[in-house]
Amino acid sequence: MSQKKQSILAIFALVLLVCFDQASKLCAVFQLSPEHGGADLILWQGVFRLHYLENRGAAFGMMQGRKLFLVITTLLIVTLLCLLYVRLPKEPRFLALHWLIVFLLAGALGNFIDRMRLGYVIDFFYFELIDFPVFNVADLYVTCSVLVFVFLFLFYYKEEDLNRIWPGKEKQRKQG
């Protein structure tokens, strides 16, 4: 696949993923939020439910009320992810990383849209069995992508692969 086609496909996928995240949150608002007469939807008694929550912080409710910090951090992360996407070699060995970046960007942008538009992020998945913090589709994109990233860097990619992404690292080691 040509580099141009791959980039167009990545942008299309990014838009679809963000739209899916936003649509799921809109459904949560209309079906689960108390303002719209909604209530929790129990999918598995004592284990998993859909529960509406307005999260004004970051992951797991950390940094409540720190919107400016979270916005700046998100913009920085999105910029770095875009830079990494552009730097990655356009060959089959790195295709998984390209797609992981698309999912990470979709997660970051999905929550960024909420934060900018509403002042909070809409969360609604709740594993009550383990009292896990309430989360959303964008959080799933980020969490799953990070887990796959770690797996790939531990078991698939080698040091020479990383040196192809950031060639300067190899030169610094030789000089040091």
The pLDDT score that the predictor gives to residue 145 is 97
The pLDDT score that the predictor gives to residue 120 is 94
The pLDDT score that the predictor gives to residue 173 is 52
Contacts 24+ apart (CB under 8 A), 153-160: 156/96
CA-based nearest residue to 139, from 126, 128, 151: 126
Q: Which one-letter amino acid corresponds to residue 147?
A: L
The pLDDT score that the predictor gives to residue 168 is 66
The pLDDT score that the predictor gives to residue 165 is 80
Residues carrying an active site annotation: 123, 139
Strand (E) or helix (H) holding 20: helix 3-32
Mean pLDDT by 10 residues, the chain (176 residues): 88 98 97 93 96 85 76 95 92 94 98 95 96 95 96 91 73 53
Domain ranges of the chain: 3-175
Q: How far is CA 154 from the centre of its chain?
A: 20
Give, rounded to a whole angstrom, the gap between the first and last alpha carbons of the chain: 39
Q: Give this prediction's pTM.
A: 0.88
